[in-house]
Structure 1
Amino acid sequence: MPLRLLKYAFSRDYPVTGDIPATPDLKSSYDVVIIGGGGHGLACAHYLSKYHGITNVAVLEKGYLAGGNTARNTTTIRSNYITKEGIAFYKEGVQLYEEMSQELDFNVMFSQRGQLTLAHTEATLRSFHLRAEMGKHAGTNIEVVDAQTVKDLSPHLNMDEGGPLEIMGGLWHADGGTARHDAVAWGYAAQAARRGVEIHQRTEVEGFETDQGRITKVRTNRGDIAAGQVMIAVGGMNYDMAMRAGVELPIRCYPLQAMVTQPLKPWLHTLVSSVSLHTYLVQSSRGEIVIGGGSDPYQLCSTRSTLDMKEHLSEGATHLFPFLQGVRLLRQWAGITDMTPDYSPIMGASPLKNLWLDCGWGTWGFKATPVAGKYMAQTIANGRVAPILEPFTMERFARFELLNEMGATAASH
């Protein structure tokens, strides 16, 4: 194999072409314009082209492919939510991740190793029983476990027996896992591009023209284009993008930070999170310990990282695993979470007839990538909201039919 690679490197003829074509010229019109070249936008383009035969599609990304929140998350995949609507939705998301490498003919490095959420108080254990019973009723693989089982699942944990943060039990979600975030985006992009979907990087949407309650043109830094249908999926900038179309979303944005350590030999074989410490950890395929926590407590559309969050996450991580003291940090980063009042996303129709929303994902957008893409594509293709998405429409706020998932985060916000 090394000799073949060497010959390939010095060859004048490279028969292999890139999976994603170079950015083409914009056409004057498209059947569907997807604003946002992250996981959700690319997944929607894939499902539109493969399952609905809609290939006259443009994906517009102001930066580079999957360079926003898709590249700034901690890749946790799970379905241990609280509401029946949320559990059903994310359960299908997990199932689609299980099949994703075959679906895309691309190794997304899905690793299904389970998620262990720790309980340090009796009150937390009681809330875990509620989540477990809701999950079991919906058919997810979830259960409350005692302290000994927690120790068996993660033997390196500091149980803090007799201390103020003694681990009394946990919520074990065996279907939880991780996937490689850029591989997911590239896999969807490659499949969509092969079917004729155009991916336009460095193409910023500057505004919209509307007439009689419809978007007629999308204005970009590379020219105006007419669009039959438009979908917004731009992560932390969803509020601003929708406002350019005259649609105000019930969203507020907060930074969400994370960091990774230097690579270590494999030892953390599950995802571990603590609500009391606002900290969660998972070991990547490269051996790095990924450490995350809750959102920053202030509204800000910024991806800056801060020393106080680094100190907070380090304190939580070293309490759970004291031997991590002295391990070097490689990097720290932040994403922008677009939070709704009930901690559930907004999917489906908008006040404009041909504008569709894929917004309000907060801290759980990556895990929903395939299921959101699948059903937003179905919604756009059929011109009506898919049944599984109906509970997540923006109208629920006017009807006071909220889906409260505030307590279902990996590290409480």
Structure 2
Amino acid sequence: MVLALLKYGLSRRYPVREEIPRTPDLKKHYDVVIIGGGGHGVSLAYYLATKHGITDIAILEKGYLGGGNTARNTTVIRSNYITSQSIKFYAASMRLYENLANELDYNLMYSRRGQLTLSHSDGVSRALRLRADSGTFLGERNEILDRQQIKELVPSLNLDIEGRPILKGLWHPDAATARHDAVAWGYAIRACDRGVELHQKTQVTGLTLDKNKVTEVQTNRGNVSAGAVVQCVAGHSSVVAGMVGLRLPIRSFPLQAMVTHPVKPFLDPMVSSTALHCYISQSARGELVIGGGSDPYELYNTRSTLDMKESLAASALEMFPFIGDLKILRQWAGITDMTPDYSPVMGRSPLANYWLDAGWGTWGFKSTPASGIYLAQAIAEDRVPEMIRPFRLDRFETFDLVNEMGATAASH
């Protein structure tokens, strides 16, 4: 990666090469068709090609590469969850992220920052202790900090918020951030290097069924058949699944965030408070990235609202009162696909050749490498790996849930 950057910097030609191929014509048939060209779709294609030698793949993206939720998240990578199933899965994803830039030979701006989750009540302190102990038991680094330790870690944080003083904090030192766009670009470039086709501005308009199998994928650029079809469409999971008659236990809500104009670095860890419905971090460019809980109503729209802007600003000021003069640079929203137990749906669908990657809610970005590598294994071997078996669709029928409702960075 270092040599590539040096060559690029010294080159007389910019860009040095067209890294993402132009959209080719659609073929009549592919071994695998992936619906959705976000982080999960291109990650899956990359691991199918590199780990299993399956390269006859078409990624169908209705907009542009990584232009959906991948471009609209706040880049947090962590594994401080509650259940053993989730902790193991997200810890595996964190490990993959650590070496991903070298593997892809692409600068992902990966930065280990640590995450501090604040408690303002005894009840929340007990819940954070449970999360710390659960992670520690499985080999993940988590610890509970007292007020003095919090002050030493984040000197600029206001501990004495009126009516909600900070009592404890859950410190997760291995939490990190990475450039969200770069993750999608890196995976897509390396997948296409191996023969995968990326079809941008190619919208799926329908799916043809014959008995228990998807026989054709209909698009605005023509129809294709496939040996296997996978949907990785985040907030529109229910809509696409509905094309094959599947009703998923998913409800979609907008999730908003915003950034301020850049200032000099003062905040290295990511700080979140479920009581204030707010989390805040500082980007590599110096912007303060501020996010919170989902909107309280279902909507397939990425518009932003003044109500959420005021709420996020008020909560951020409670934690860091001195930022009051900063101007908001931009505000945006993604669409979260929430399941009843706040865990994803991965693996087989009731159809013979149709696979699901859905229900990630606010946790899609941090799961990008692990979702790709394990779902690729499932498709290639026609056998669901143990790591993702707890996230099967039929758990909602058997009530074998993976409840992660209390593990959000900001309460939803």
**Shorter chain as normaliser: what TM range?**
over 0.9
| Alignment-derived partner of residue 180 in structure 2 | 181
CA distance in 2 between partners of 1:317 and 1:376 (Å): 38
Code of the residue aligned with 2:84 in structure 1: it is: K
Aligned partners of 1:398, 1:103: CA distance in 2, in Å? 39
CA distance in 2, matches of 1:363, 1:5: 36
Q: Does 1:323 align with 2:327?
A: no
Cα distance in structure 2, aligned partners of 1:37 and 1:192: 12
1:36–1:15 Cα change, 3 Å: closer
Q: Which moved more, 1:34-43 or 1:380-389?
A: 380-389
Deviation at 1:385, TM superposition (A): 1.1
**Counterpart AA for 1:409:** T
1:49 matched residue in structure 2:
49
Mapped to 2, the partners of 1:397 and 1:169 lie a distance apart of 35
Matched with 2:345 is: 346
3-state secondary structure, aligned to 2:335: strand
Letter of the 1:97 partner, please give it. Y
% identical equivalent positions = 58
**What amino acid is aligned across from residue 254 of structure 1 in structure 2?**
F
Deviation at 1:212, TM superposition (A): 2.3
Q: Deviations over 1:172-216 (max 9, x none)?
A: 000111000000000000000000000000000011111120111
Other-structure match for 1:233: 232
Query: In the comparison of the two structures, how many residue pairs are matched?
Result: 407
* Separation (CA, whole Å) in 1 of partners of 2:232 and 2:76: 20
- Coordinate RMSD, CA, aligned: 1.5
Q: AA paired with 2:242? A: M
Mapping of residues 247-326 of structure 1, within 5 Å: 247-326=246-325
State the match for 2:115 in structure 1.
115
Task: Quote the residue 2:191 is aligned against.
Answer: 192
* In 2: Cα distance, 1:127 partner to 1:361 partner: 22
Moved over 2 A (4+): 4-9, 14-17
Mark the CA change 1:244 to 1:167 in structure 2 (over 3 Å): closer, same or farther.
Answer: same
Query: For the residues of structure 2 that align with 1:220 and 1:49, how far apart are their CA atoms?
Result: 24
Counterpart amino acid of residue 310 in structure 2: E
- Tell me the alpha carbon deviations over residues 16-70 of structure 1, each in whole angstroms, 9 at most, x when there is no partner: 3211110000000000000000000000000000110000000000000000000
Equivalent residue for 2:12?
8
| 2-structure distance, mates of 1:262, 1:372 | 33
Q: SS of the residue aligned with 1:325?
A: helix
Determine the C-alpha separation between the residues in 1 that align with 2:314 and 2:165. 16
- Given the two structures, how large is their TM-score scaled by the length of structure 2? 0.97
Q: What's 1:136 paired with?
A: 136
TM-fit CA distance, 1:339: 0.3
TM-score of the aligned structures, taking structure 1 as reference length: 0.96
Say which SS state the counterpart of residue 59 (structure 1) adopts: strand
* Counterpart residue number, 2:38: 38
Q: Distance in 1 between matches of 2:34 and 2:86?
A: 24
| Map of 1:209 onto structure 2 | 208
Opposite residue 32 of structure 2, the aligned amino acid is V
**Structure 2 spans left out of the alignment, 5+ residues:** none
1:406 aligns with 2:410: no
2:77 alignment counterpart: 77
- How far apart, CA to CA, are the structure 2 residues paired with 1:115 and 1:148? 17
- Determine the structure 1 residue equivalent to 2:370: 371
Equivalent position of 1:356 in the other structure: 355
